[in-house]
Amino acid sequence: QVQLVESGGGLVQAGGSLRLSCAASGRTFSNYAMGWFRQAPGKEREFVGGVSRTGGRTGYANSVKGRFTISRDNAKNTVYLQMNSLKPEDTAVYYCAADRHTSFFVSTLINEYDYWGQGTQVAVSS
């Protein structure tokens, strides 16, 4: 079992930045690829980006590529999502998730992720 707790959400103006954190506890953090997803009101949860177990590989949705950066610190059991040049359409609840199946790459599939945090709200005003 892995427990995940997100933090760092809030309200920001368009063009601004936020840094989300996801702290993990429980099993060995480096055994899990990590992903960030988001869900806007009335929409399905969607993949934002992910990072492999060692941090050597990352992947992003086209909608955030070039603006968002994922990193992880396995010594601190934490994964981060740096969000720059935020847009109103980035408004959503952001979730981190842990994937114990994928060894070397990043999965974009929700069903590959075994553990989820409670989410943190990000609101971007125009």
pLDDT in tens, 29-62: 999 999 999 999 999 999 999 999 999 999 999 9
Which helix (H) or strand (E) covers residue 58, if one does?
strand 58-60
Would the pLDDT of 1 be above 90? no
Q: What is the pLDDT of residue 3?
A: 96
* Rounded-to-integer distance, Cα 17 and Cα 118, Å: 21
Beta bridge partners of 68: 83
Beta bridge partners of 27: none
Residue 88 CB coordination number (10 Å): 11
Mean pLDDT of 2-21: 98
Q: Is the dihedral of CA 13, 61, 32, 94 positive or negative?
A: positive
Q: What is the pLDDT of residue 111?
A: 94
Q: How many residues does the chain have?
A: 126
Could you read off the pLDDT of 53-98 as tens digits, one per residue?
999 999 999 999 999 999 999 999 999 999 999 999 999 999 999 9
